[in-house]
Structure 1
Amino acid sequence: MTQRDASALAARAAEAASAESALSGDEAADILFQLLLDVARRQHPQIASVLVGDSKVSDVTPELLSRVFQAHGIWFQLLAIAEQHSAMRERRQDERERGEAAVQGTFANLVATAAARGVEAAELRDQLASMRIRPVITAHPTEAKRVTVLEKHRRIYRLLVELEQPRWTARERAALIDQLRDEIELLWMTGELRLEKPSVDQEVAWGLHFFHETLFDGVPELLKKLDRALHQFYSGEHFQLTQFFQFGSWIGGDRDGNPFVTNDVTRRALAENALASLRHYEERLSVLLQRLSITERALPPPEAFREALARALAESGDGDQIAQRNPGEPYRQFLSCVLRKLKTTLARAERGRASGAAYYASADELIADLAIMEEALSESGSAGLARDLVRPARWAVELFRFRTLRLDLRENTTRLTQTVQALWRAKSGQEGEPPDADSPEWKAWIMAELAKPRQGASLGLSLPPDAQETLDLFKLACDRSEEFDREAFGSFILSMTRSVADVLAAYLLAKEAGMFRDAACVEACTLPITPLFETITDLRAAPAIMRELLAIPVVRRSVRAQGGIQEVMIGYSDSNKDGGFLSSNWELFKAQNRLTKIGNEAGIPIAFFHGRGGSVSRGGLPTAHAIAAQPAGSIRGRFRVTEQGEVVSFKYANRGTAAYQMEVLAAGVFEHALISEREEALTPRAEFDEAMEALSGAAHAAYAGLIGHPGLLAYFQAASPLEEISLLNIGSRPARRFGVRSLSDLRAIPWVFAWAQNRHVITGWYGVGSGIASFLDVRKERGAALLQRMFRESRLFRLIIAEVEKTMCLVDLSIAREYASLVPDASVRDEIFGLIEAEFALTRDMVRRVSEEHEIGERFPHYRARLDHRLPTINKINREQVELLRGFRASTNELAKEAYKSNLLLSINCIASGLGSTG
């Protein structure tokens, strides 16, 4: 780019920044596009011609095709950054114009509304005391961007923020433009595809990246916002904030079908999680040490602090030198002692060796030291410094402790059952087969083992290697929680839970590992066991399973010892794959309602862990709307949700966006806890429930007819890049749980990913049209009036219809037909595609009838505008991908196949970037 070009862009940016509207999304996107064009012109002029539309994708040589895909992929990424920046700026503008209390999704709005409605401070205190919100970062393979790319995105976002400031001179603004160009050029030269599958250790580093960038500082700021809102609208009231917002993780602990997550990997993940928090505290307290240059003459400390300082100096072993280095500055002296102790703690964690110097045995000790300093400043008359400087540091340690996040462990029932069967053989001394896992005899044996006092000799039982590895996982959880942090682990997630015996098997392994801490090991398990119900069948069976489970004494004792709440995880992905979008949402809603009642009857409340993915098909709904549509009384301030793949980078890569996403989640949960059981919109209505049951049944039948079609697997494998997606190195985990090539064994992520790539996107709409049409065939105009009323008054139904509409905007049947041309069997191709084409037309008509709109998606102008920027390019890449798939599959020469493979994978990556999600 010439200096004149840079100056021209800088002038446009300056004009926008000086205007009242600042730098709009379109202006930011235009600047980024011009810079990308400049890089492309210098690197490959022909690609620049494709970017501006003067040439077609098909015009370039096969050698340049990869660069075309990369250029389009970069543009989609830059466009997303510009949109995030614009959304953040609009939120700030909204707050400036209307005030924070008028902005939906903020704590200020929620607390102001509560005060206006006459909600007593005592009720707020009660709700806050029971609030527990935990987003859980998972290593599901849906993030196609490498950490090095994410870091460049972060710098581009920050440069856009800087560019819109009006204070810069023309020279300084041109320099910022140059920096933007440099970052885009570096993106151009950075390989988008991973050459090898990431290791689990690399995935751990990927997850921790977001804490270093935004979350270590962002979560304490979230608490500060709530604290400010409470004191603003409930002046004179005292609120003690608990650390209700914490993060969890599955990275390094989720071994469900992932052979690369071993116990050694889990140990390393725990160590890295601990080190990340300790290094952050060292950095944060070093800055605090520099700032707190308070002399005792200016602010004499209380006597209690002087005594604490004397003890700290004596314990440090170097008290005289510390006092001489900071003479007359007691707070610096105290912080020097704290930092010295923290550095020793960090060194012990890094090297795994003990030393004679004083260290923090737990996060509680560091919290206590920071509380001493905070109280001393407040008592001395500097409450502002205590609140603004020390309290956020204390909150950070309370939030992240010596573990950054809580690591969940996950395994499936098949593996656990095999382990317990091996245990049966070892304990009984028999070579034969144990009772059938579904039999009453099997459950009775497990119950009897749980009731027996644990014998020390049982630790020496000889088990097969796989079984020993699973048992050792529980031993690791038993031993390492004390080594790292008492909250190092979250819970044990039991995938594919099908029976009470499945859950009891996890309790038995925990007992064998020493996780029952009473002398006889029969009273209570210290590790929470969370059953995961995933398929439609499992969701329907969940209430009966949980009713029986919560009546078992050892389970009741364990839950009460762990805090009195039984957690249940519900799966959005597999229930959708199993039953279709409408039926999945209805079955999840019903299961939550029934499980909530069962928990109430048992005197043990049930809290839900929502296994949501990034796409609509896997539960990735707008946060506030999704929470607001949950059954009344089903949250009660406790909300766990998975944050998977590209969702993590979308929500938490940038500081402003992360702050917004966390506040929307926390405020939504708080609001639901406060008002859901008083809201008319969530009051159960028999006629609505009856209608939903009928709609769900017919929709499920239509969906089951498609996925049960004998030719669907062959169609899906040929008419999508399903098998080729597994060649993308975007996750350590295999695409199938047990390696069998069947639809039932295929994980939900590649199922959704492949249907999105080929633009059928059946996972977000198929069956809905048949469900509505069947309902109207029976109830005629009276039924149409009921559905239209439900659309207006039922949050769940309206949310389902809204997300179906959005998904249908992504469908392009002309492109889908080109993918279908890859199916060699004409009869299979025509029959399956005919079913999809007919259902799409029916769904479009039925949704328009219910919503009383002329066009699908017309209620979402911003969403449609976003797609208008992307779909023309995505369509071109889709058509190229069809030809690449054809050539790749037909190639017998390995060199030719490898050439096709690179471009094919880049096309998959590019389409995923354009759509904004993979699975």
Structure 2
Amino acid sequence: MASIIYSSGEHPSIADRSAAYANQNIAFLFDLLMDVIRYRLPELEAVIRNESAIPANNPKLLLRFLQARGIWFQLLQIAEEDGGMLRRRTIEVEQGADQVMGTFDWVFSEAAQANISAHDIQTLLNNAKIIPVMTAHPTEAKRVSVLEIHRRIYLLLVELQSSRWTPREHDALVDKVRNEIDLLWLTGELRLEKPTVAQEVAWGLHFFNEALFEQSAELLNKLDFALNQYYPEADFTIPPLFQFGSWIGGDRDGNPFVTNEVTRNTLFHNRRACLYRYKQKLQGLIHNLIIARHNIKIPASFLAVLDQELKCIENGQAIAARNPGELFRQFTVCMSHKLAKTIEASERNSFPECNQYAYYSADELINDLRILETALLESKSAGITKMLVTPLRREAEIFRFRTANLDLRQNSTVITKTLISLWAAINQKEETDRPAETTLEWESWIKEQLDNPLQIDIPAGNLSAEARETFELMQLVVGSREKFDERAFGNFILSMTRTSTDILGVYLIAKFAGLFIKEDGIEYCLLPIVPLFETIEDLRVAPAVMRGLLTIPLIRHSIVKQGGTQEVMLGYSDSNKDGGYLTSNWELSKAQTRLMAVAEDCKIPISFFHGRGGSVSRGGAPAGRAIAAQPAGSVHGQLRVTEQGEVISSKFANRGTALYNLQLLAASVFEHSLKSTTEAELRPRKEHYEALEELSQLSYEAYRLLIEQPGLVDYYASASPVEELALLNIGSRPARRFGASSLSDLRAIPWVFAWTQNRHLIPGWYGFGSALEKFSQAHGQAGRDLLQQLFEQSRVFRLVIDEVEKTLCQVDLLIGKDYSELVTDSSVREQIFSRVQDEYHRTVQHVLAVSGSNLLAERFPRFRRKLGRRLPSINQVGREQVKLVKFFRETNKENQEQQKKLVSLLLSINCIATGLGWTG
């Protein structure tokens, strides 16, 4: 099978036509933006067209210039998204659906040609579990109102593709686009206050309402269609293999605003969202299922069920009388009444009362939809069933009564503090009397408590406030299983996991809170506990930690009862901040390989949850490439991956793009699962392993020399807008976990965000050039030949090279130099910036030598075009930003002029983030 990633069915002429179409749309949108600027602020036009500079004494013009540049980056993204959709459709029309990369047709046509059996495909479908997890990490700079304008512009561009319009109708559509751009101009782009967690929840649900409810069912329809095309003799069963997770309202790691009350309300909001969706869809069924009884033969089993439903509902006779002979419609009206009672209770943040004619669980709704499907099929109405009922049934199976599984996340420090408080309350002693948490005595106490039958009433009132909050969170999980949905909560993610005792501690709190049950004399935990390994050291010890855990009977029983697979989360952000880009990727790859060996030895499968962000340095490589580079056999149909901040809006704001991105994720998982164990690029080779190990160590040493350079923290704080970032209200979460000011405590998102704004982009490339140079020097021509072999034959090395090369295109040493001038200590400034400058040139030289290119990103023409449209404007904004930071820091904070400059400064940050496509 050819890889999604490294081959393409796209004909050059299609690429040229697609680029021409995108350029046409870009010119069209630019002209309309100029119309708006000419009307609103005529003197700005010359500045936007680079015909004049911004006067130093005109803050209003500077403010509007930054706003215009930000709007332009947004319009560029819309035009390119529309162009991408048209390109994929053109390939499908002219070359066939199986030539569109990243689709089910691409994967299963190759699978059929490779003689992969239908049985193997069905086994993969049965085991598959693909879950993108929405997070509200503070990386989204756009408000929902702005996203809604973007969607309307996108839809208007699609409308304008049609040739059916008269000149008058065409001009009216153009006027609508211009008016939407005018609305962008008049809409406040910056948040005046930090969003609350409730607002972040609403922001996340916006994407479900706009695209994901609809397109998730369509995704399975596409899968069904592709399987029928390439395996026409097989009869596949498609389970709800694609679902969603969420951290929004459940992730309390370092976020004091996520309280138990917030989490409880989040569950209700998530529940309401899907219930209202089902209400809307049921109304559609009532409207459309007007099939007269005398036209078809209706199964007797359905007649019996309908008769029972009409007897149970209060106004059953009236329903039958109002829709005489339309039996499917009568049944659907009964369903609508039951759902209405469920919704009424949800509006009160409550649940239906016992014996009420309502749906108490999603299973009951799904069962009714299956009854309706079966009856229609037996009535020889398969087409109508597939069009009207099957999509709703699939939606109900995917979203149930929860929309998304709400994950809980907390860090090991808080868990340990909770356990200490519990120890003191149970033993009626002072917390200072407890064994140190690093001792065997402490570990033994936790294990003894887990082994003992639970007979202790926990005096919650004696716990510290923080411990009581954590303890009551676990109790909230207990109560939610029956009331909301059995999987209303997904997993408990333990960040900063370092030892097996850390994870056992979560199990113990869960046991004390009532999350254990006993069957046939065996206790197990109802809530899956997922360790998150983040730093380089944590990744290295992860296999030993998991080996120790998977030998404990309680853990093994719990895993089996929870589905049979232990999930492990891998942190891309902190491992990168800790060890640099190459070392992070290599250690992540090694950790997965070693964890798979542990899973095989312990006879407990392990699946991986990838904590990726938007930027390259936080794992933000293209989804297909990233999945293709995972170790052979590590995916096996199951993958969870975080979707963060601006990535969510870029992927899921529009329905067509949302469907493509969902399909790309699922198709990439299927492709890796079907063929990774036979791919040469993923086959372990001793010489490749040894070379990558050496390169990683060399890169790590070079990166740590910079990070540990005296004065680096001061340089970072002064030569970037990191402190000013906190004033940009793009998330409820603080920039630091515990309010400290050390580099180690700084979150990875502002770490990346700040290095991006000052155009150093350290996390995405630093250290790689030194590694390549020293490796070549140590091994001579044989080493250079091996590097070339790695480039051609190692998937993980190729991914690193590709993404480093793209990142280097975005580095600007001139702007970086301007930023470095803000560092007052000249020796620190010169030492650190000279290191950065030298490493940059070294990295460019050696990356080009390995890739065989003459120019950076020469191999990525679409990327070069996209960046080329933005870079001059980004650089212009960057130069203004340095001046604004300098002025802001040197001016009295109460100065009115300083406050005006602050708005411009924040707009410049927003603008660059939009231009590059990520914040952190």
- TM-score interval (norm. to shorter): over 0.9
Q: Paired residue for 2:382?
A: 383
Compared with structure 1, are the counterparts of its residues 393 and 88 closer, same or farther at alpha carbon in structure 2 (3 Å cutoff)? same
Which residue identity is paired with 1:887?
Answer: F
- For 1:473 and 1:268, the matched residues in 2 are separated by 13
Name the SS for the 2:493 alignment partner: strand
Q: Paired residue for 1:735?
A: 735
Counterparts of residues 565-584 of structure 1 (less than 5 Å): 565-584=565-584
Q: Paired residue for 2:69?
A: 72
Instruction: Tell me which moved more, 460-469 or 347-356.
Output: 347-356
Name the SS for the 1:640 alignment partner: strand
Contact 1:453 1:522 in 2 (8 A): no
Counterparts of residues 431-580 of structure 1 (less than 5 Å): 431=430, 432-458=432-458, 462-518=462-518, 523-580=523-580
Contact 1:413 1:496 in 2 (8 A): yes
Contact 1:23 1:164 in 2 (8 A): no
Q: Paired residue for 1:411?
A: 410
| Superposed displacement of residue 60, structure 1 | 6.8
Contact 2:18 2:83 in 1 (8 A): no
Q: Paired residue for 1:423?
A: 422
Contact 1:878 1:911 in 2 (8 A): yes
Q: Paired residue for 2:913?
A: 912
| Superposed displacement of residue 382, structure 1 | 0.8
- For 2:19 and 2:506, the matched residues in 1 are separated by 57
Instruction: Tell me which moved more, 690-699 or 175-184.
Output: 175-184
- For 2:349 and 2:820, the matched residues in 1 are separated by 57
Compared with structure 1, are the counterparts of its residues 635 and 519 closer, same or farther at alpha carbon in structure 2 (3 Å cutoff)? closer
Q: Does residue 198 of structure 2 align to residue 201 of structure 1?
A: yes
- For 2:49 and 2:285, the matched residues in 1 are separated by 51
| Superposed displacement of residue 771, structure 1 | 0.7
Which residue identity is paired with 1:680?
Answer: A
Q: Paired residue for 1:752?
A: 752
* Cα deviation code 1:4-61 (max 9, x no counterpart): xxxxxxxxxxxxxxx9979811111111111111111111111222112222234671
Name the SS for the 2:105 alignment partner: helix
Contact 1:411 1:493 in 2 (8 A): yes
| Superposed displacement of residue 352, structure 1 | 3.5
Counterparts of residues 869-880 of structure 1 (less than 5 Å): 869-880=869-880
- For 1:620 and 1:57, the matched residues in 2 are separated by 35
- For 1:797 and 1:860, the matched residues in 2 are separated by 17
| Superposed displacement of residue 112, structure 1 | 1.3
Which residue identity is paired with 1:267?
Answer: R
Contact 1:443 1:501 in 2 (8 A): yes
Q: Does residue 307 of structure 2 align to residue 310 of structure 1?
A: yes
Which residue identity is paired with 2:646?
Answer: E
Q: Paired residue for 1:186?
A: 183
RMSD: 1.4
Q: Paired residue for 2:225?
A: 228
> What is the number of residues matched between the two proteins?
901
Which residue identity is paired with 2:914?
Answer: S
Which residue identity is paired with 1:705?
Answer: L
Q: Paired residue for 2:11?
A: none
Q: Paired residue for 1:24?
A: 21
Name the SS for the 2:530 alignment partner: strand
- For 2:365 and 2:548, the matched residues in 1 are separated by 43
Q: Paired residue for 2:107?
A: 110
Which residue identity is paired with 2:277?
Answer: H
Q: Paired residue for 2:763?
A: 763
Q: Paired residue for 1:5?
A: none
- For 1:805 and 1:231, the matched residues in 2 are separated by 41
Q: Paired residue for 1:844?
A: 844
| Superposed displacement of residue 63, structure 1 | 2.1
- For 2:787 and 2:407, the matched residues in 1 are separated by 41
Contact 2:124 2:637 in 1 (8 A): yes
Name the SS for the 2:641 alignment partner: strand
TM-score when normalising by structure 2: 0.97
Counterparts of residues 786-801 of structure 1 (less than 5 Å): 786-801=786-801
Which residue identity is paired with 2:98?
Answer: A
Q: Paired residue for 2:12?
A: none
Q: Paired residue for 1:725?
A: 725
Between the aligned residues of both structures, percent identity stands at 53
| Superposed displacement of residue 897, structure 1 | 2.4
Q: Paired residue for 1:360?
A: 359
TM-score when normalising by structure 1: 0.97
- For 1:234 and 1:316, the matched residues in 2 are separated by 45
Q: Paired residue for 2:98?
A: 101
- For 2:567 and 2:314, the matched residues in 1 are separated by 47
Contact 2:18 2:86 in 1 (8 A): no
Instruction: Tell me which moved more, 104-113 or 613-622.
Output: 104-113
1:335 to 332, 337, 341: 332
| Superposed displacement of residue 866, structure 1 | 1.0
- For 2:534 and 2:837, the matched residues in 1 are separated by 29
Contact 1:452 1:522 in 2 (8 A): no
Counterparts of residues 128-147 of structure 1 (less than 5 Å): 128-147=125-144
Instruction: Tell me which moved more, 96-105 or 725-734.
Output: 96-105
Which residue identity is paired with 2:225?
Answer: R
Name the SS for the 2:294 alignment partner: coil
| Superposed displacement of residue 430, structure 1 | 1.2
Q: Paired residue for 1:87?
A: 84
Q: Paired residue for 2:618?
A: 618
* Cα deviation code 1:54-89 (max 9, x no counterpart): 222346711221111111100000010000000101
Which residue identity is paired with 1:358?
Answer: Y
Q: Does residue 235 of structure 2 align to residue 238 of structure 1?
A: yes
Give unpaired runs (5+ residues) of structure 2.
1-15
Which residue identity is paired with 2:655?
Answer: R
* Cα deviation code 1:689-718 (max 9, x no counterpart): 000000000000000000011110100111
Name the SS for the 1:198 alignment partner: coil
Q: Paired residue for 1:655?
A: 655
- For 2:461 and 2:636, the matched residues in 1 are separated by 44
- For 1:255 and 1:324, the matched residues in 2 are separated by 54
| Superposed displacement of residue 236, structure 1 | 2.4
| Superposed displacement of residue 899, structure 1 | 1.7
Which residue identity is paired with 2:328?
Answer: Y
Name the SS for the 2:516 alignment partner: coil
Contact 1:570 1:611 in 2 (8 A): yes
| Superposed displacement of residue 798, structure 1 | 0.7
Q: Paired residue for 1:166?
A: 163
- For 1:379 and 1:23, the matched residues in 2 are separated by 51
Which residue identity is paired with 2:728?
Answer: L
- For 1:387 and 1:601, the matched residues in 2 are separated by 45
Q: Paired residue for 1:637?
A: 637
Q: Does residue 298 of structure 2 align to residue 297 of structure 1?
A: no
Q: Paired residue for 1:13?
A: none
Q: Does residue 35 of structure 2 align to residue 38 of structure 1?
A: yes
Compared with structure 1, are the counterparts of its residues 891 and 390 closer, same or farther at alpha carbon in structure 2 (3 Å cutoff)? same
Name the SS for the 2:458 alignment partner: helix
- For 2:478 and 2:210, the matched residues in 1 are separated by 32
Q: Does residue 782 of structure 2 align to residue 782 of structure 1?
A: yes
- For 1:58 and 1:496, the matched residues in 2 are separated by 50
Compared with structure 1, are the counterparts of its residues 848 and 212 closer, same or farther at alpha carbon in structure 2 (3 Å cutoff)? same
Contact 1:426 1:463 in 2 (8 A): yes
Which residue identity is paired with 1:549?
Answer: L
Which residue identity is paired with 1:412?
Answer: N
